[in-house]
């Protein structure tokens, strides 16, 4: 199951899990975390059966199993269940780990429960978790979502070693709050520190380009090309939107043509770009 999960064969993990049930194999501490993880990745709502099996097998008191359940419910959107499992961790005398808190924070953002996020931050500080590479981006994001950029930046600055996810979280927080100059300063600092940007970095920084003109947008686009991300749908979508808002419809169209497998986001972006630039006939041509 570990090997299959690590290589992305999620359906096969569930198959092995079901076969184990049929043969009456015993579970251990590692079985359910993998099963909940693949359910999260697959968006499977069959987790209810797995959760019941956790109870019946006596693993409900295992913090790694509980963390897997929190992560699943958070990603699928069963927010009431997320908080119920989190309460269960405390009631059973367990201490939530870094992964548990990192899974819970995005739920707080989506529900607008920023006060709960502050409490989680306090708990993480008390437990000594504030150097965790998964928890720190989640904390930066929730403060960014709440518009409290000073605390988000304090958390960012406290870490001497930062991975690309942490840089992305802070850049995204600035962009989201329309602090575009700060976004670019941080993006430049990231490159100077030899941290390689990824798809998420460009999705976070490209929307800020429209505030600085075409030269800036073209420079970031060049970075995208150098790193080979031009065919990534999420990156292409934001580039199309950027060029459209800068009035460069030809570049937006050129990018859309280079994406081999277009989804509805690409089509919507190019149509919206034509409409934004009052190219009515071209927009209807894409709808026909």
- The per-residue pLDDT for range 258-269, each reduced to its tens digit, is 888 878 888 888
Phi, psi angle pair for 218, to nearest 5° = -65, -35
Q: At what angle do helices 63-76 and 98-111 cross, to 10 degrees?
A: 20
The dihedral of CA 246, 249, 254, 260: what is its sign? Answer: positive
Ranges of the chain whose pLDDT falls below 70 = 43-48, 60, 283, 285-288
CA proximity to 166, closest of 158, 176, 156: 156
Task: Give Cα separations from 143 to 7, 105, 165, 169 (angstroms).
Answer: 34, 10, 16, 10
Q: Is residue 204 within 8 Å of residue 171, measured between CB atoms?
A: yes
d(Cα 118, Cα 123) in Å, to the nearest integer? 9
Looking at residue 202, its pLDDT comes to 95
d(Cα 24, Cα 33) in Å, to the nearest integer? 19
Residues near 155 by Cβ (< 8 Å), separated by ≥ 6?
Answer: 130, 136, 139, 140, 143
Looking at residue 60, its pLDDT comes to 67
* DSSP state string for 98-157: HHHHHHHHHHHHHHT-HHHHHHHHHHHHHHT-TT-TTHHHHHHHHHHHTT-HHHHHHHHH
CA proximity to 155, closest of 126, 121, 186: 121
Task: Give Cα separations from 172 to 6, 180, 186 (angstroms).
Answer: 28, 10, 10
Q: At what angle do helices 135-145 and 114-127 cross, to 10 degrees?
A: 150
pTM listed for this prediction: 0.74
d(Cα 186, Cα 167) in Å, to the nearest integer? 8
Q: Is residue 235 within 8 Å of residue 203, measured between CB atoms?
A: yes
Looking at residue 193, its pLDDT comes to 94
CA angle 89, 148, 73 (to 5 degrees): 30
What does pLDDT average to over the chain? 85
- The per-residue pLDDT for range 198-249, each reduced to its tens digit, is 999 999 999 888 788 888 889 999 999 999 998 888 999 999 999 998 889 8
Looking at residue 157, its pLDDT comes to 94
Burial class (CB in 10 A: 0-12, 13-18, 19+), 267: middle
């Amino acid at each position: 199951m570990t090997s299959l999960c690590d290589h992305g064969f999620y359906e096969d993990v569930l198959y092995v899990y079901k076969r184990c049930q049929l043969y009456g194999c015993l579970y251990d501490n590692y079985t359910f975390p993998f099963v909940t993880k693949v359910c999260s990745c697959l968006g499977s709502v069959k987790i209810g059966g797995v959760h019941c099996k956790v109870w019946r097998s006596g693993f409900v008191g295992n913090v790694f199993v509980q963390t897997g359940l929190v992560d699943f419910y958070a990603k699928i959107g069963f927010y009431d269940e997320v908080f119920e499992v989190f309460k269960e961790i405390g009631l059973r005398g367990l201490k939530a780990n870094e992964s548990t808190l990192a899974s819970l924070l995005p739920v707080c953002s989506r529900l607008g429960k920023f006060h709960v996020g502050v409490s989680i931050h306090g708990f993480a500080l008390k437990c000594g978790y504030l150097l965790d590479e998964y928890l720190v981006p989640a904390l930066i994001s929730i403060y960014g979502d709440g518009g409290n950029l000073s605390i988000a930046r304090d958390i960012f600055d406290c870490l001497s070693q930062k991975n690309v996810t942490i840089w992305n979280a802070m850049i995204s927080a600035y962009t989201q709050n329309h602090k575009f100059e700060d976004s670019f300063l941080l993006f430049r600092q990231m490159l100077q520190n030899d941290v390689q940007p990824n798809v998420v970095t460009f999705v976070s920084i490209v929307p800020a380009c429209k505030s600085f003109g075409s030269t800036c947008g073209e420079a970031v686009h060049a970075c995208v090309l150098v790193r080979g991300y031009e065919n990534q749908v999420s990156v292409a979508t934001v580039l199309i939107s950027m060029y459209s808002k800068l009035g460069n419809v030809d570049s937006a169209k050129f990018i859309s043509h280079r994406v081999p497998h277009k989804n509805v986001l690409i089509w919507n972006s190019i149509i919206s770009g034509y409409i934004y630039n009052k190219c009515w006939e071209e927009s209807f041509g894409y709808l026909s």
